């Protein structure tokens, strides 16, 4: 009798374990079951969005992009929905601007009504995008279309051209934008030819970005790889990026709007990444108004074609404090510059007046930066806000030209060695004591 009771209890425990484990298996919803056609021609926005909606309505799970090329306009993930793009599965952005509704977001450091991204995740927590497939932004086609349109409008009256330029009409959709999200994972996918920024992390917390392969043609403007924008607790690891702007850019808002929002980017780790062609490897700024702090970039490689793998930039109108930044164990291979720090970056009309509190760069460490470059670089602080406490440790660069520095105080260059073919290794001008 006792044996039978024990046996019955054991069976019930096993059955309960089975049902619980079955219940915990997340459901999957394949977009072709909802009418999507992967022929690289059919517009699938409604079919894919219907799949997302059904998945969310049923309590969540995975939306699956199978093999095929699925053309789509803007998609909006919903609560409980994760996205998996299988190998040989492609989401390809529509070229029709009407397929990207205008939403309230932040673009280039200013909150405004702007084009939605191809993939939009807004105010959703605990979400993942992963797989071996591709999201293709059709950036080459967008760039050519806009070029042709701009040629046609040259005959329009100036006032009409001005009004058009102040709208999102000339905008191009970002590839992916996470906005106001917590606990985010993006893993393994390929991002191709983003029409503008590739992966935009905006107002987010606790974000993991791993093993992305990002490529954009070198004629697509503003095709940043990853933009970390007023976000906290972001880790980027094992990504391989080649694009026509900064490979990774850390931002926190621009000018008066950025100062009003006042949200910093902080506690960010970037490691084991490769930067190919790009205007910067990891760029701090130029949108610095909310502040950027506690950033570590380690064990990365920058290859030839990269303009400046270690890049800091702002303008006097931006304000904001950039501090506690470490670049460690960075290998550079024939880049244009090794270091670029410019607090008067791209001062082109219209130049805005300086912020009430000028931007600040301070407490920055470069440790074990080694390799070859055309120039060691350029450091330029402001007369009334010099760059403060920059430390070079165990850095060795072979270059054609040395490092030019001005308006930088209480900094330590003894840890920077190397060889230059022209002039001196270090050139100081109007450096404040």
pLDDT at 2: 40
Mean pLDDT of 117-132: 98
- How do residues 296-326 score in pLDDT, each as one tens digit? 999 999 999 999 999 999 999 999 999 999 9
Q: Is the domain of 218 the same as that of 356?
A: no
* Residue 432 confidence class, pLDDT cut points 50, 70, 90: very low
How far apart, in whole angstroms, are the C-alpha atoms of residue 191 and residue 91? 10
Is 116 a member of any domain? no
pLDDT at 74: 98
pLDDT at 143: 84
pLDDT at 429: 81
Mean pLDDT of 99-112: 96
Lowest mean pLDDT among 18-27, 55-64, 82-91, 227-236: 18-27
Instruction: Examine the pLDDT at 272 and tell me if it is beyond 80.
Output: yes
pLDDT at 18: 40
* Residue 144 confidence class, pLDDT cut points 50, 70, 90: confident
Is 18 a member of any domain? no
pLDDT at 19: 36
Among 406, 356, 352, 353, residue whose Cα is nearest residue 382:
406
Q: Is the domain of 40 the same as that of 136?
A: yes
For position 99, which CATH number holds?
2.160.20.10
Q: Is 55 helix (H, G, I), strand (E, B) or coil?
A: helix
Among 205, 229, 253, the domain-final residue is 229
- How do residues 274-304 score in pLDDT, each as one tens digit? 999 999 999 999 999 999 999 999 999 999 9
Mean pLDDT of 146-175: 64
* Residue 164 confidence class, pLDDT cut points 50, 70, 90: low
pLDDT at 171: 82
Instruction: Examine the pLDDT at 5 and tell me if it is beyond 50.
Output: no
Question: Average per-residue pLDDT in the chain?
Answer: 91
Is 11 a member of any domain? no
Instruction: Examine the pLDDT at 148 and tell me if it is beyond 90.
Output: no
Q: Is the domain of 259 the same as that of 217?
A: no
Q: How many CB atoms lie within 10 A of CB 62?
A: 18
Share of the chain above pLDDT 70, in %: 88
Q: Is the domain of 69 the same as that of 136?
A: yes
Does 350 sit behind a cis peptide bond, omega within 30 degrees of 0 on the bond before it? yes
CB distance 401 to 425 below 8 Å:
no
pLDDT at 156: 60
Is 267 a member of any domain? yes
The CA distances from residue 170 to 26, 100, 163, 196, 222, in Å, are 41, 13, 11, 11, 13
159: containing domain: 29-109+124-229
Among 430, 286, 297, 419, residue whose Cα is nearest residue 366:
297
CB distance 148 to 170 below 8 Å:
no
Lowest mean pLDDT among 24-33, 37-46, 238-247: 24-33
User: Who has greater pLDDT, 232 or 8?
Assistant: 232
Instruction: Examine the pLDDT at 210 and tell me if it is beyond 50.
Output: yes
Is 3 a member of any domain? no
Per-residue buried b or exposed e for 302-337, using 16+ beta carbons within 10 Å of the residue's own CB: bbeebbbbbbbbbbbbbbbbbbbbbbbbbbbeebbb
Mean pLDDT of 186-206: 98
Among 185, 203, 229, the domain-final residue is 229
Is 115 a member of any domain? no
pLDDT at 394: 98
Tokens representing residue 155 in the block: 């005959």
Is 360 a member of any domain? yes
Q: Is the domain of 250 the same as that of 214?
A: no
Q: Is the domain of 258 the same as that of 175?
A: no
Q: Is the domain of 210 the same as that of 293?
A: no
Share of the chain above pLDDT 90, in %: 85
pLDDT at 159: 60
Among 333, 268, 324, 280, residue whose Cα is nearest residue 303:
333
Q: Is the domain of 224 the same as that of 249?
A: no
Tokens representing residue 245 in the block: 């702007």
Is 198 a member of any domain? yes
Q: Is the domain of 157 the same as that of 82?
A: yes
**In 71-166, alpha helices (H):** 139-153, 158-165
Lowest mean pLDDT among 161-175, 246-260, 415-429: 161-175
- How do residues 127-139 score in pLDDT, each as one tens digit? 999 999 999 999 9
Number of domains composing the chain = 2
DSSP string, 7-23: HHHHHHHHHHHHHHHHH
Q: Is the domain of 215 the same as that of 363?
A: no
Q: Is the domain of 341 the same as that of 382?
A: yes
- How do residues 397-414 score in pLDDT, each as one tens digit? 999 999 999 999 999 999
Among 179, 198, 229, the domain-final residue is 229
Q: Is the domain of 59 the same as that of 187?
A: yes
What are the φ/ψ torsions at residue 410 (nearest 5 degrees)? Answer: 45, 50
Tokens representing residue 278 in the block: 């790009």
């Amino acid at each position: 009798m006792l044996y039978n009771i024990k046996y019955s209890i054991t069976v019930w425990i096993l059955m309960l374990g089975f049902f619980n484990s079955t219940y915990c298996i997340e459901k999957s919803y394949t977009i072709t079951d909802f009418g999507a056609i992967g022929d690289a021609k059919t517009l699938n926005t409604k079919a894919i969005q219907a799949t997302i909606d059904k998945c969310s309505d049923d309590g969540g799970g995975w939306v699956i992009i199978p093999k095929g090329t699925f053309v789509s306009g803007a998609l909006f993930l919903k609560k409980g929905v994760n996205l998996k793009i299988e190998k040989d599965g492609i989401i390809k952005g529509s070229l029709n601007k009407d397929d990207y509704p205008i939403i309230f977001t932040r673009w280039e450091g200013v909150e405004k009504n702007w084009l939605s991204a191809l993939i939009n995740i807004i105010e959703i927590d605990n979400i993942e995008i992963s797989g071996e497939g591709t999201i293709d932004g059709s950036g080459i086609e967008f760039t050519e279309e806009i070029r042709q349109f701009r040629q046609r409008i040259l005959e329009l009256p100036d006032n009409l051209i001005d009004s058009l330029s102040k709208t999102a009409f000339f905008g191009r959709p970002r590839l992916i934008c996470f906005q106001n999200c917590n606990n985010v994972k993006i893993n393994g996918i390929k991002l191709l030819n983003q029409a503008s920024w590739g992966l935009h992390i905006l107002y987010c917390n606790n974000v993991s970005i791993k093993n992305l392969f990002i490529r954009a043609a070198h004629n697509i403007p503003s095709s940043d790889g990853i933009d970390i924008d007023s976000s906290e607790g972001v880790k980027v690891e094992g990504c391989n990026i080649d694009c026509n702007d900064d490979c990774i850019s850390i931002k926190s808002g621009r000018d008066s709007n950025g100062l009003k929002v006042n949200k910093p980017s902080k506690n960010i780790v970037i490691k084991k990444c490769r930067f190919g062609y790009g205007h910067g490897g990891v760029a701090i700024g130029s949108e610095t108004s909310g502040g950027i702090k506690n950033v570590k970039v380690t064990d990365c490689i920058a290859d030839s074609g990269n303009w400046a793998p270690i890049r800091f930039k702002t303008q006097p109108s931006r304000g904001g404090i950039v501090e506690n930044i470490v670049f460690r164990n960075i290998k550079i291979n024939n880049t244009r510059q090794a270091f670029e720090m410019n607090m008067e970056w791209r001062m082109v009309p219209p130049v805005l007046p300086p912020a009430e509190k000028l931007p600040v760069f301070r407490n920055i460490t470069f440790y074990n930066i080694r390799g070859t470059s055309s120039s060691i670089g350029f450091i330029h602080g402001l007369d009334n806000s010099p760059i403060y406490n920059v430390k070079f440790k165990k850095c060795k660069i072979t270059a054609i030209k040395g490092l030019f520095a001005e308006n930088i105080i209480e900094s330590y260059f003894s840890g920077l060695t190397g060889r230059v073919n022209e002039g001196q290794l270090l050139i100081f001008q109007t450096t404040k004591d």
